[in-house]
Structure 1
């Protein structure tokens, strides 16, 4: 019998403006914040996991940081949680901190992070990684890292904001858009992963909101097998119509609240190829702890569905409609839960410094 598989996403906030800083911090015998983050992963015990904001070399691969986190934290019990092991890992190339050839912000010089293909203080800043208990089909991984923004049909680039040279060069994906096939006892599940730029820190031109919108459009085009698509290896199209997939990412978009352009996330969540019960129905991932959050501004969304401490649903695990879903959840313990301390500081406050400003989201899938 094929196994039930738990798939999760967690913006783990293990990024630092100084290149190599995360690698150095992982050399500490017990880094308290990393220990809490590892304990959360151990408690949920996903079989396949996307970690957002985990620094590694921008050209891809592991500089040792991911290996250390897996071996010295995840493979060792943290806060009385059982150890977990992920023998298969993928660290994709990233556009973050990759310097442009043309001045992007118009100040007459090329400097990071503002003149990078994706916002970052160094190449690989804010990257994402994939961990799996099951083999990753490395040779079949596809990416759209180099797709130029202006080449997206119907793009929302702010007119007249970027120079002609910058417009010819600026890529759409702020990190990368990848399809990662995982072999689960002979059955292929395609992980469709990205981490779009947040739709904030904008001027009147709304460049980041527009880019977030279009990064989500690219995600949708990949699952639609759009004709115009050409991946980084020159292969055309996206996923085949009968493919089974899971969309994963901190998408930095909420259908009800926040600063983003709502159409793209709405079109994605309500897409006929996406499992509607999980995306917007009775099985949306939920928590008990979100209801205790008091966001700084009024929200319309359901607190049980929030995944970020600003009171937003930003993090998604979206199985395809042709997969059977068993259950789902958000790791956000309520005030009576003995694991509450994993998301709070020493004074019991939910602060980013205690672990992450995001919560881990998981979905259980039954493979027939």
Structure 2
């Protein structure tokens, strides 16, 4: 799982950047992926068409960066790819942000300056069962029982059309050595840029509740084809995404992420025990705010654990980590600029998170 920060306010900008000569930042990001060499990889904040599919950007990144050695790392190939549709930049015909006009990015189903900005994609070295993919892009926020929609903030007309998922919530079956592994992927809105109504914090909370609803096979869920429920009982799954939630620090509401991490169907050791993904390099970050969480578990340069790979309790986890090299590690240059500083512009403000699972 890697929030790769390949997103721009202009539509197709990432595609055009990939069409030019080698991009130093993209090369470093690709080298990090090659070094970790995950079999299944979710990339957050990778711009692609909002209606789904690839405009050529993902194919070019795979062909010209991942499939060619970067900074001495071995090439990697992902023959199976999924680019889901996204709510980001999908304009709503109602004023959502209260500024008196309907415009992007504030009046979209999910914050975005164009349809598909900040979208996520899935890469796999194993076949994706495309016919079995389910998504909850169109599920309305008001249809979640006990939802936290802010009272009096959105107009009655807006409440009737406002979707819960800021990007999408997807369930992607992957055929893995005779078994099926279900990837539950999402990227909830960050719980910031709020007023007193706390609309983003509330939405992040309920987007995380939707993840549990999918795991629960909740009867209140309906997917984009109208089918009820979520994941069938007994299925092996992995929750992946930049969940924009830290159960200790940050501005979000802590209850939903805590309930997810402590859910009995989630591998407890990975979620909150001795096998939580960790790094050596995170301890050198000096966040501008005081943090009380474990620096070894941080996945963001603000000193937060935001990015997760959460296998089901039924899966055998043999290892995990966060790609955040120590100061003496020669790979540290992959996350720093030419002056050795950890800055978002050098690559991404997030770090890659990985979990190894043994499949019999």
TM-score, scaled relative to structure 1: 0.97
Corresponding residue for residue 30 of structure 1 = 22
| 1:233 pairs with 2:225 | yes
Q: Which has the higher contact order (CA 8 A, sep 6+)?
A: 1
Q: Distance in 1 between matches of 2:29 and 2:108?
A: 29
Describe how 1:265-276 pairs up with structure 2 within 5 A: 265-276=257-268
| 1:108 Cα deviation from its structure 2 partner | 2.5
Deviation per residue, 1:116-171 (Å, 9 max, x gap): 00000000000000000000000000000000101111100110000011111110
Corresponding residue for residue 320 of structure 2 = 328
1:139 to 131, 146, 156: 131
Corresponding residue for residue 5 of structure 1 = none
2:3 to 4, 11, 18: 11
| 1:187 pairs with 2:179 | yes
Corresponding residue for residue 312 of structure 1 = 304
Corresponding residue for residue 6 of structure 1 = none
| 1:227 Cα deviation from its structure 2 partner | 1.0
| 1:107 Cα deviation from its structure 2 partner | 2.4
1:245 to 237, 241, 252: 237
Deviation per residue, 1:270-294 (Å, 9 max, x gap): 0000000000000000000001111
| 1:367 Cα deviation from its structure 2 partner | 1.0
Deviation per residue, 1:84-139 (Å, 9 max, x gap): 00000000000000000211112232100000000000000000000000000000
Q: Distance in 2 between matches of 1:77 and 1:222?
A: 38
Corresponding residue for residue 38 of structure 2 = 46
1:125 to 117, 121, 126: 117
1:68 to 60, 72, 89: 60
TM-score, scaled relative to structure 2: 0.99
Corresponding residue for residue 106 of structure 1 = 98
Q: How many residues align?
A: 360
Q: Distance in 2 between matches of 1:240 and 1:184?
A: 18
Corresponding residue for residue 81 of structure 1 = 73
| 1:323 Cα deviation from its structure 2 partner | 0.4
Structure 1 unaligned regions, length at least 5? 1-8
